Amino acid sequence: MTSHEFDVLKTHSEHKRFESYKETRKWKGKTILIVEDVPSNFQLLEAYFSRTGMNIIHVENGLEAIEVMKSPNAIDLIIMDIRLPKLNGIRSTQEIRKFRPDIPIIAQTAFAMDSDKELCIQSGCDAFLSKPFLKQELFDIIEYYIS
């Protein structure tokens, strides 16, 4: 999906704001891999997901993310920070795409420039969020990929 298509989707889902809270019920038991090196950023995401019934696996760098994806964990979706120690989110996504072409990967980064967004999409991310973002913005994207 191109970023333009997502803008359309986002506008559409604005109208479904309240409905989408119901959608989160379908997420119960799904597993999300969160790749985030800043503890406060992770804690915020963890709080967002606290009432969804989802399982969360957290790693703090790109190498660990690849390791988790190669292990037998059944991950349904990845939230990938771009600025990460050891291996950044762009290169991590490229590696993961080699053996998991299908898994939804949502990139998120602070101080994003348009070139970052382009790089993310080219590397294989499905969607892109600039920090700080609203919980509902994130949930709208997840709803699209998981429900």
Give the residues lining the site for Mg ion (CB under 5 A): 37, 81, 83
CB of 85 to Mg ion, least distance (A): 8
Residue 107 or 127: which CB sits closer to Mg ion? 107
CB of 86 to Mg ion, least distance (A): 11
Instruction: Say how far apart CA 18 and CA 30 lie, in whole Å.
Output: 21
Residue 31 near residue 76, CB atoms below 8 Å? yes
Coil, strand or helix at 71: coil
The DSSP annotation for 82-100 comes to: SS-SSS-HHHHHHHHHHH-
Residue 10 or 91: which CB sits closer to Mg ion? 91
CB of 4 to Mg ion, least distance (A): 26
Cα 79 to the chain's mean position, in Å?
3
Residue 23 or 81: which CB sits closer to Mg ion? 81
Name the closest residue to Mg ion (Cβ).
Answer: 83
Residue 79 near residue 35, CB atoms below 8 Å? yes
CB of 67 to Mg ion, least distance (A): 18
> What pairing do the DSSP bridges indicate for beta strands 77-81 and 127-131?
unpaired
Residue 34 or 127: which CB sits closer to Mg ion? 34
